[in-house]
C-alpha cells in the first residue's frame, strides 16, 4: 500500500468514520452551522449573520467551508464535520512530509501517527470549529519559513505570507502574530536577527495584505466601525484581556491540556526525556532543527497562557512540532510505538461510540427539534430560559426562539460595546411580554428550573426532557387567536 496509502486509510478511519452520527452541539458548534445556514438562506456569502443579525465573531473562511459543504452535500452533520476532518487529514500529511524532510521517512510517519492518535487532535478533528483550519495555515506558514531559512531559498517565504493571510481569514490577527513571534524568537536564539532583511518583508507583506484585504476591507466598507469595534475590539482585544470564563484562568491550564491532549504518547515520551536530562545533569545541545521545533512548540502555550480567556483549542498549532519531537524518541522504541499506535486507534474508535456520540447527544437539542413539530401549531411561541442558549434547537428546528427572563435581566443581557454581552445577539423577550393568548413552550436549562417556576406565571407541564433542558408547555391563559408572531417564523 505504501506510506501515503496507509496514512490515507488511517485518516478515513480516524477523522471521517461515524461523523454522520455526531449531532451538532451547543454552545459553540451550533453557532457556526446556524451562521452558515442563515448565510445560505440570505444569499449573502460575505457577511456572517445569525438570528438575522450580522455576526462578527470570526472571519469568513470557515463559514465558506461550511457553506461549500452544505451546498454540495446538504445541511447535515457529516457535511458540517467534513472540512474539519479534511483539514485534520491535511495536517497529518503535512506532519509526515515535514518530519520526513527534517529526519527521514520513519520519523515523518511516526510523527503523523502520533499526531493523528493524540486525544486533543482527534477531538478537534471532529469539532465544527475554526481551529483545524488555523492549524493547517499556521503550520504551512512556519514550514515554509524553515524551508526557506534552512535551504537558503527565499521564495519559500512567500508561502509563509500566503499561509498567514489564510490564517488571518480564519481566525483574525493571531494568524500572522503567532507565526511572526515564533520566527522572531527562533532567529533571536540563532543570533541571526539580521535574517529579517532576507524575509522579503516588503513584497511579502504586500502579498499578505492583498489576500487578507479581500474580505476585511469590503467588510469595513459595508459595516464600518461596528465591524471594527466588535471584531477587533471584543473578539480579539477583550478576549485577550478579560477572561470569558474566569474559572479556568489558572496558571497550569495549558500544562494540563498538554498532558491530557497528548494521551497516550506523553506519559512515555516525556518522562524518558526528563530522565535523560537528569542523568546527564545538563541541558542537551540542540541543532537548528530542534531549536526551531522547540521554539514553535513552547511559544504557543506560553503566549496563550498570558491571555485572559483560555480554551482547549487555542494551543492546537503546537502539536505538529511536539509530535515530531516525540517521534525522535519512539524511533528508538519501535515496539512501544507500534503497541501504543494500535492501542490508540482501537480505544479512540471505541470512545467514538461509547463516549463521544452519547456526550454530543446530551449537549445537542436535535431530538427536541425532531419532537417539536408534533406539538407546535400556528398559535405556539417557543422561548428559552437559563444560562445556556439552545442554538442547536434553532438550527435543527428552524424556529425563532427568544430567550426570556425578567425585564431587568433582559436589559442587562442586551449587547453593549466592549463587553461580553455584545455576543448576545439571540432574540430577547422579557417574561412580562409572554403573550397570554398563545401556547408557550419553554426550553428551560435544568439547573435553572426552580428559578423559572418562581418567575413564570401559569401552570406548566413537562412535555420533554433532554440532556440539559426540560421542555415545559403552558396553554393559553385566555382565549384569542391573534396573528402569528415571530415565534412562528422559520429560517
Q: What does the pLDDT look like over 368-377, one tens digit per residue?
A: 999 999 999 9
DSSP 8-state class, residue 399: B
pLDDT at 490: 32
> Is 302:253 a contact under the CB 8 Å cutoff?
no
Domain ranges of the chain: 2-360, 366-488
Tell me the chain's radius of gyration from C-alpha atoms: 25
Q: Which fold has domain 366-488?
A: Rossmann fold (3.40.50)
| Residues sharing a CB contact under 8 Å with residue 436, sequence separation 6 or more, in sequence order | 476, 477, 478, 480
Output the CA angle 113-114-117, nearest 5 degrees: 80
> Are residues 119 and 20 in contact, defined by beta-carbon separation less than 8 angstroms?
no
Q: Are 296 and 142 in contact (CB under 8 A)?
A: yes
Q: Please list the residues that pair with 403 across neighbouring strands.
A: 384, 428
Per-residue model confidence (pLDDT) at position 230: 85
Distance of CA 319 to the CA centre of its chain: 15
CA–CA–CA angle 60, 86, 217 (5° rounding)? 15
Here the cell at position 404 is 426570556
Q: Is 304 helix (H, G, I), strand (E, B) or coil?
A: helix
Per run of 10 residues, the mean pLDDT along the chain (length 491 residues) is: 94 97 96 97 96 92 98 98 98 98 97 98 98 98 98 96 98 96 98 95 97 96 90 77 79 94 92 70 80 97 92 95 96 95 97 97 95 94 93 96 95 80 88 94 94 92 92 84 39 26
What CA–CA distance (Å, rounded) separates 127 from 338? 27
Amino acid at each position: 500500500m505504501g506510506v501515503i496509502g496507509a496514512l490515507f486509510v488511517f485518516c478515513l478511519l480516524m477523522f471521517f468514520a461515524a461523523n454522520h452520527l455526531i449531532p451538532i452541539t451547543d454552545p459553540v458548534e451550533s453557532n457556526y452551522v446556524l451562521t452558515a445556514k442563515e448565510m445560505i438562506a440570505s444569499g449573502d456569502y460575505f457577511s456572517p449573520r445569525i438570528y438575522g443579525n450580522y455576526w462578527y465573531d470570526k472571519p469568513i473562511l470557515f463559514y465558506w467551508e461550511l457553506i461549500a459543504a452544505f451546498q454540495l452535500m446538504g445541511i447535515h452533520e457529516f457535511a458540517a464535520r467534513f472540512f474539519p476532518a479534511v483539514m485534520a487529514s491535511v495536517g497529518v500529511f503535512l506532519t509526515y512530509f515535514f518530519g520526513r524532510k527534517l529526519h527521514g521517512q520513519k520519523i515523518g510517519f511516526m510523527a503523523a501517527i502520533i499526531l493523528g492518535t493524540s486525544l486533543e487532535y482527534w477531538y478537534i478533528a471532529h469539532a465544527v470549529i475554526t481551529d483545524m483550519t488555523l492549524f493547517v495555515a499556521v503550520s504551512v506558514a512556519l514550514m515554509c519559513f524553515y524551508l526557506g531559512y534552512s535551504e537558503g531559498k527565499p521564495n519559500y517565504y512567500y508561502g509563509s505570507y500566503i499561509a498567514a493571510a489564510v490564517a488571518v481569514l480564519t481566525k483574525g490577527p493571531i494568524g500572522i502574530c503567532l507565526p511572526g513571534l515564533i520566527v522572531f524568537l527562533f532567529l533571536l536564539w540563532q543570533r541571526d536577527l539580521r535574517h529579517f532583511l532576507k524575509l522579503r518583508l516588503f513584497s511579502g507583506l504586500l502579498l499578505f495584505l492583498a489576500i487578507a484585504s479581500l474580505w476585511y476591507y469590503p467588510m469595513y466598507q459595508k459595516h464600518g466601525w461596528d465591524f471594527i469595534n466588535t471584531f477587533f475590539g471584543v473578539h480579539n482585544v477583550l478576549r485577550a484581556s478579560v477572561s470569558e470564563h474566569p474559572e479556568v484562568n489558572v496558571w497550569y491550564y495549558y500544562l494540563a491540556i498538554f498532558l491530557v491532549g497528548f494521551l497516550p504518547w506523553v506519559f512515555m515520551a516525556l518522562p524518558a526525556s526528563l530522565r535523560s536530562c537528569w542523568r546527564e545533569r545538563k541541558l542537551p545541545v540542540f541543532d537548528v532543527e530542534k531549536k526551531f521545533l522547540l521554539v514553535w512548540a513552547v511559544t504557543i502555550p506560553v503566549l496563550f497562557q498570558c491571555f485572559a480567556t483560555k480554551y482547549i483549542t487555542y494551543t492546537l498549532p503546537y502539536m505538529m512540532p511536539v509530535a515530531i519531537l516525540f517521534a525522535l524518541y519512539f524511533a528508538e522504541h519501535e515496539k512501544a510505538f507500534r503497541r501504543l499506535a494500535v492501542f490508540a486507534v482501537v480505544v479512540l474508535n471505541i470512545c467514538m461510540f461509547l463516549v463521544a456520540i452519547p456526550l454530543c447527544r446530551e449537549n445537542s437539542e436535535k431530538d427536541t427539534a425532531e419532537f417539536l413539530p408534533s406539538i407546535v401549531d400556528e398559535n405556539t411561541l417557543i422561548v428559552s430560559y437559563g444560562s445556556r442558549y439552545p442554538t442547536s434547537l434553532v438550527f435543527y428546528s428552524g424556529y425563532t426562539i427568544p430567550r426570556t427572563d425578567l425585564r431587568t435581566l433582559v436589559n442587562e443581557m442586551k449587547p453593549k460595546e466592549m463587553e461580553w454581552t455584545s455576543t448576545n445577539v439571540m432574540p430577547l423577550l422579557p417574561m412580562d411580554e409572554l403573550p397570554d393568548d398563545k401556547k408557550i413552550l419553554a426550553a428551560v436549562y435544568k439547573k435553572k428550573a426552580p428559578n423559572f417556576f418562581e418567575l413564570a406565571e401559569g401552570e406548566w407541564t413537562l412535555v420533554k426532557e433532554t440532556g440539559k433542558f426540560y421542555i415545559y408547555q403552558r396553554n393559553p391563559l385566555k382565549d384569542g387567536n391573534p396573528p402569528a408572531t415571530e415565534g412562528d417564523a422559520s429560517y
